[in-house]
Amino acid sequence: MSVSNPLYIYNSLSRKKEVFEPLNPPFVGLYVCGPTVYSDVHLGNVRSFLTFDVVYRYLTYLGYNVRYVRNITDVGHLIDDSDEGDDKIEKRARLEKIEPMEIVQKYTNGFHDTVTQFNLIPPSIEPTATGHIVEQIEMIQRIIKNGFAYEVNGSVYFDVKKYSEKHNYGELSGRKIEDQLEQTRESLEGGNEKKFFADFAIWKNASPETIMKWDSPWGTGVPGWHLECSVMSTKYLGQAFDIHGGGMDLKFPHHECEIAQSVGADGVNPVKYWMHGNMLTVNGTKMSKSLGNSFLPHELISGDHPLLDKGYTPMTVRFFFLQANYKSTVDFSNEALQAAEKGFNRLMAGVETLNKLTPSEVSSVDVNAIISKSTESLNDDFNTPTTIAHLFDGVKTINAINDNKETINQSDLTSLQQHYKGFVFDILGLVNEKDNSSDNELSNELMDIIIDLRNQSKENKDWGTADLIRDELKKLNISIKDTKDSSTWNYEK
């Protein structure tokens, strides 16, 4: 990338935008926290993974060699996200009366089906927690050797207070360990094994009823939830890598603990750029199952939900997410989704028109300005809403050319077509759903016949029939545009 046109990334660690400078160019290491596969993936997950899908796509578009690692949590994630209670997967397995690994496979398959619907590119590597038990035990041993963990009754806890004597626990989330010290005595009443309430389990002793458990130097147990990401990210990307992403809800304690574990084990702060996506709301209220306002992806697509007027295609939903900055909350409403649907269809229509333009000998439009504005906005911390706004400005120019109000030469037309292909499809990851229809070819052929019949009516000065065809097609949301030499049609959903 040109030094004069750098990519800026908002770093959650420094709390400011920084010029992206990979540690080992052209290689870029990207790690994203994946799903815990005990239930259907929810829309908050989809938005987070979509954010980093765009990051992956754009870095690749810029010419970087990106290794994208996104894990599958298939053990160790407890019900209340703390060190107590049941493993989420084992609890679901007991409810459904099947093996825990059947739960893992069922919801991993469902996760893959969902992200495929939304056109997310699969990661380079998709490791699982159960596939890296040996490496997790080895990291625990290094942490203990360095004095930052202790064993109690077969469980191993990370010693946050000891770590904080030399390092800044809370640097990512902004929490101060001093503010938590006076809470310790009350929190430890009742025989808690921890020395300090902020200590967290990196290995948990398993009860006799636990099905998924492994032998370790400290007895039979399971790894802590936070540990797997420290192990798998550094195993595949190196002790220090470029970008770590996830939802805002993971910043504390999950990502804070990741930093502490990696520094405690190997003395290296593992991540240069931390990125966090924001949450979803519905009609201004936090999305929550208990409030009855949460959506599963299939409910949003089918419209089978009491808060929905109808269903929306995966590309409409993808476009809807892209219209907001990844650091901002996204508010679901029927009005917002319907507006996104119209906007998506308008953008696809613009691309279709662009690909049908006939070049002139000279250009009256500034194609370089259209291209540079989109590039500048994406370089501004992957600012997709502003990028989409610039693409729509370009659509106005495309329509003006199509209406013979502006002209474009062949070289500029090729550049503009390549730009829209790169940004709309390769980077934003949108798909023209008309192109995906199995009936699309037949529909095009039928419309060609209808257009020919209408053109014959016009040649015969049978204006009544020509107007009737146009009006009847309009009732089907099919618009006809007549030009000097031909007629084109467009389906407006």
Residue 479 β-bridge partners: 490
For the chain, the structural domain boundaries read 21-277, 281-434, 439-491
Q: What's residue 184's pLDDT? A: 44
CA distance 333 to 466: 40
**Tokens representing residue 234 in the block:** 């550094």
Query: Per the structure block, which two tokens stand in for 226?
Result: 């936070």
Q: CA nearest 458: which of 478, 483, 437?
A: 483
Token pair in block for residue 205: 């002793």
Q: What is the pLDDT of residue 188?
A: 47
Distance separating alpha carbons of residues 168 and 264, to the nearest angstrom: 12
Closest CA to 488 of 397, 402, 416: 402
* Per-residue tens of pLDDT for the chain, all 493 residues: 444 689 999 999 999 999 999 999 999 999 999 999 999 988 889 999 999 999 999 999 999 999 999 999 999 777 555 666 678 899 898 889 999 999 999 999 999 999 999 999 999 999 999 999 999 999 999 999 999 999 999 999 999 999 999 999 999 999 987 665 544 444 444 447 899 989 999 999 998 989 999 999 999 999 999 999 999 999 999 999 999 999 999 999 999 999 999 999 999 999 999 999 999 988 888 776 667 777 889 999 999 888 899 999 999 999 999 999 999 999 989 999 999 999 999 999 999 999 999 999 999 999 999 999 999 999 999 999 999 999 999 999 999 999 999 999 999 999 999 999 999 999 999 999 876 554 555 666 788 788 888 888 888 888 888 889 888 888 787 888 776 666 777 766 5
Q: What is the CA radius of gyration of the chain?
A: 27
Q: What share of the chain is helix, strand, coil (3-state, %, to 5)?
A: 45, 15, 35
Going from the C-alpha of 96 to that of each of 6, 52, 102, 193, 277, the distances in angstroms are 51, 33, 10, 32, 32
Look up tokens 């109808």; give the residue: 310
How far does the chain reach from its first CA to its final CA, in angstroms?
A: 39
- 78 with 84: CB under 8 angstroms? yes
Which of 3.40.50.300, 3.40.50.620, 3.30.310.50, 3.60.10.10 is the CATH number of 21-277?
3.40.50.620
Render 84-127 in DSSP notation, one character per residue. Answer: SS-BHHHHHHHHHTS-HHHHHHHHHHHHHHHHHHTTPPPPSB--
Q: Model-level pTM?
A: 0.86
Helix (H) / strand (E) element for 152: namely strand 149-152
- At residue 405, the pLDDT reads 97
Instruction: Decide: 125 and 67 in contact? Cβ < 8 Å.
Output: yes
d(CA 370, CA 420): 10
Instruction: Write 466-470 long-range contacts (CB < 8 A, 24+).
Output: none
- pLDDT at residue 491, rounded to an integer: 65
Note the pLDDT of residue 493.
52
87 vs 201: CA distance, rounded Å? 13
**Which residues fall within 8 angstroms of residue 134, CB to CB, at 6 or more apart?**
none
* CA quadruple 75, 76, 79, 81: dihedral sign: negative
CA distance 268 to 395: 48
**One-letter amino acid of 220:** T
Classify residue 159 by burial, with Cβ atoms within 10 Å: 0-12, 13-18, 19+.
buried
CB 237 within 8 A of CB 17: no
Between strands 155-158 and 149-152, the pairing is antiparallel
Cβ neighbours of residue 364 under 8 Å, at least 6 residues apart? 406, 407, 408
278 CA to centre of own chain: 11
> What is the residue whose two structure tokens read 């007991």?
94
Q: Helix (H, G, I), strand (E, B), or coil: what is residue 471?
A: helix
The C-alpha atoms of residue 13 and residue 73 are separated, in whole angstroms, by 24
Find, among 265, 204, 258, the residue nearest to 79 by Cα.
204
Q: Which of 489, 493, 492, 484 is nearest to 445 (CA)?
A: 489
pLDDT of residue 441: 56
Residues 6+ apart with CB under 8 A from 378: 58, 384, 387, 423, 427
- Edge-to-edge strand ranges of the sheet holding 155-158: 149-152, 155-158, 200-205, 221-223
Amino acid present at 111: F
Q: What is the pLDDT of residue 449?
A: 87
User: What fold, for 281-434?
Assistant: Isoleucyl-tRNA Synthetase; Domain 1 (1.10.730)
The SS3 assignment for 131 reads helix
Helix (H) or strand (E) holding 265: helix 256-266
